[in-house]
A = this chain, B = another copy of it.
Amino acid sequence: MYNLAEKIFPICRSITGNGVRLTLEYLKEEFADMKIYEVPTGTQVFDWNVPKEWNIREAYIENSKGEKIIDFKDNNLHVMGYSLPIDCDMTLEELKKIIYTQPDQPDWIPYVTSYYKERSGFCMSENQKNALQEDVYHCVINSELREGSLTYGEVLLKGDTEKEILLSTYICHPSMANNEVSGPVVTIELAKWLASLEKRKYTYRIIFIPETIGAITYLSRHLDIMKKNTIAGFVLSCVGDNRIYSMVETRYGNTLTDKLLKNVLRYHYPNYKLYDFMHRGSDERQYNAPGVDLPVCAVCRSKYGEYPEYHTSADDLSLISEEGLQGTFELMKKCIRALEYNCYYKVNCLCEPQLGKRGLYPTISQKGSYDAIVDMRNLLAYADGKNDLIDISNQINCSIDMLIPIIDKLEENGLIEKSDLSE
């Protein structure tokens, strides 16, 4: 996964434009069944309109000696996103009015955009700005803002039922590693793994969209089917560093997705950080908006807005790692396996079944002899048709990973039956 991250890291993405298209092409190389869609500028999407398309070829600031003091080629964060073209000379005083810095992190270039008000701007470190001398600077932004379209990618993997699980990630930030490339990289890997499964109970809707306007655009086209079918969903963002795991709850923290994530994180990554919906920030904002009401949580390692390198040039490839990406991939596989197994289970007889005659029970009874089968007995005690697998796991304090082989054994012996959640 890290190799793919390296490939797409340098691309200058924004919420529209060729950076998005090029990123989607790389992803399509990994997973050929991805479909790519274009939505024209001006299209009404709920309370919004698809904005003009922005592209940029080059940008720099040159001093009077002809030295480039910053250059878009070195770091695409140097240009404020959606900057209008300029080509002019400026005094230091004039220049400073269109330079953006992050004064509390003086070594780093901040990530700044102005999507919905037309202006031009450069970004640099606070230290570099402070070191600028009086001079006449030649400022060039060779960009274009015009009618065009918004681009997104979609993978649909059919399952046995129409009920869907949503995976959503964004492809709209320039060169940042954790807060951009980690999301699509892990998500495309999950698409490949899901496509490789022999059997899928659920249908998977996997989308690669520009944040906010892309989610709004996508929802405006698919809201009815998504409201009808979605049983769980995940926004994947900032999933490549090696620090703790975290999640953001839905609006009321009470959906199947919340219950599932809290269960899996509790058993496998118990020092994870739980954020309530006050701490939302990515596309879970749209999925959980009133009237949209989809059961979608955000899954992160170091959550956006909560780690120092966030939205700066320090969020580079050194911040993420193969291990970091792989960790999230494994977490998501555990979640998906748990969802695929999740249903209401019911024991098939009255009173405890006689496990001994089926070879599932120690034949000698002595203090301590039942310790080995405590999880099986507890599962049977709560398989009363009122609990799904996650409830049982929570109730009997045993991870779903450990319950799955027990369920297989009990089903083989005809001792429990399932009643599907989606029925």
Contact = CB atoms under 8 A, between A and B. Distances in A.
A351 B112 contact: no
B311 A367 contact: yes
Chain B CB within 10 A, most for which of A352, A381, A385:
A352
A102 interface: yes
A363 B48 contact: no
B288 A111 contact: no
Interface stretch (A183-191, A236-244, A263-271, A353-361): A353-361
A46 B365 contact: no
A251 B311 contact: no
A151 to B, nearest CB: 19
Contacts of A80: 364
B215 A365 contact: no
Contact of A219 (B290, B293, B351): B351
A351 B286 contact: yes
Interface stretch (A53-61, A195-203, A333-341, A342-350): A342-350
A383 interface: yes
A402 interface: no
B396 A278 contact: yes
A380 B331 CA distance: 32
A278 B378 contact: yes
Contacts of A365: 112-115
Contacts of A350: 46-47, 219-220, 223, 289, 291-292
A397 interface: yes
Report the contact-size class of chain A (Cβ under 8 Å from the partner).
Answer: 35 or more
A385 B47 CA distance: 19
A110 interface: yes
Interface in A102-157: 102, 110-117, 119
A9 interface: no
A366 B47 contact: no
A100 interface: yes
A395 to B, nearest CB: 8
B347 A382 contact: no
A286 B114 contact: no
A290 to B, nearest CB: 3
A364 B113 contact: yes
Interface string A168-181: 00000000000000
A295 B116 CA distance: 49
Interface in A287-341: 288-293, 305, 310-312
Nearest to A114: B364
A216 B352 CA distance: 8
Contacts of A364: 80, 100, 112-114, 117
Nearest to A123: B366
Contacts of A356: 116-117
Contact of A367 (B310, B354, B367): B310
A2 interface: no
Contact of A383 (B290, B354, B366, B381): B290
Contacts of A212: 352
A178 to B, nearest CB: 14
Nearest to A353: B47
A285 interface: yes
A71 interface: no
Given A47-B349, A288-B381, A289-B352, 17 more contacts: A47-B351, A47-B352, A47-B353, A48-B351, A102-B366, A112-B365, A116-B354, A212-B352, A216-B351, A220-B351, A251-B381, A277-B381, A278-B397, A280-B381, A286-B352, A292-B351, A311-B366
9 contacts: A111-B367, A113-B364, A113-B365, A114-B364, A220-B350, A288-B381, A289-B352, A291-B347, A291-B350
Nearest 6 pairs of A and B residues by beta carbon: A290-B384, A117-B363, A47-B349, A311-B367, A116-B356, A112-B366
